[in-house]
Amino acid sequence: MAQLTLESARGKMKFKKFLHIHKHRLDVKPLASFEVAKEMKCTASCTKSEECFSFNVKKLTANSFLCELLNTSKYIDAENLTQDNSFSHYYLQDPCVPNPCVTGNCKSDKKAEFICQNCPAKITGKRCDVCAGPNHNFALGKPTEQSSIYVIGAYGSFPSSLAVDGNTGDAYKSAENKPQCSMTHGDLKAWWRVDFGETIPVARMAITNRGDCCWSRLRDVELR
């Protein structure tokens, strides 16, 4: 691995970290090609250039190296990375390792900067980590299960899906005498779960308890 830090005329530090592959060359048209006395000068030239994202080096003599500056990288032109015993290829460290994306998929561009793509619905942000709306309900309509289903003959059953149907009424039945809350039997360790179908960042969870009676039944809740 080659690391180089340069100080610009304005006093700001410019830093690029390169990894290298021996006996390989990224076979594309060079941005520039020239000879240098030391291999490190090729690293310095690429670091100074805003257009250079990788480079090839070939040893010509003990004091001479061929330097090929490239305005692309193996992340973009992987099919052009070929085995060549006379060259070494230097490239910027993969920004997707470790993965900076909270959700979605990470992709490297030729500048070795990460792009988070395929963010889940209602998720935005550079790292796929920002909810599109502060009150967006990710659980709405998603598949659910619970440890048991309570049934009242006159009203029917109270399945787990009633907890994510968007109805926030706090009585166990509606004005039309229809179930509107999920309920289990008197299970010793009752549980309820929802399957989002994908990994999402959860910033807040809201549970609407019964308001007509028996609210103390929901206690010592453990979130997993």
Given a contact cutoff of 8 angstroms between Cβ atoms, the answer to whether 113 and 25 are in contact is no
Query: What's the CATH number of domain 96-129, 2.70.70, 1.10.3470, 1.50.10, 2.10.25?
Result: 2.10.25
Domain ranges of the chain: 18-92, 96-129, 137-196+203-212
For the domain 137-196+203-212, what is the CATH superfamily, name and number? Galactose-binding domain-like (2.60.120.260)
Rounded Cα gap, residues 10 and 58, in angstroms = 33
Please, what is the end-to-end C-alpha distance for the chain in angstroms? 42
Per-residue pLDDT of the chain (224 residues; tens, 9 = 90+): 444 433 333 344 345 678 889 999 999 999 999 999 998 899 989 988 888 889 999 999 999 999 999 999 888 888 999 999 999 999 988 888 888 888 888 888 767 778 888 887 777 778 887 766 666 777 888 899 999 999 988 888 999 999 988 888 888 788 888 888 899 988 888 999 999 887 776 777 888 888 888 888 888 888 88
Task: Give me the amino acid identity at 15.
Answer: F
The structure tokens listed for 117 are 């793509």
What DSSP designation does 132 have?
S
Total Cβ atoms within 10 A of residue 54: 28
- Domain 18-92 CATH assignment equals 3.50.4.10: yes
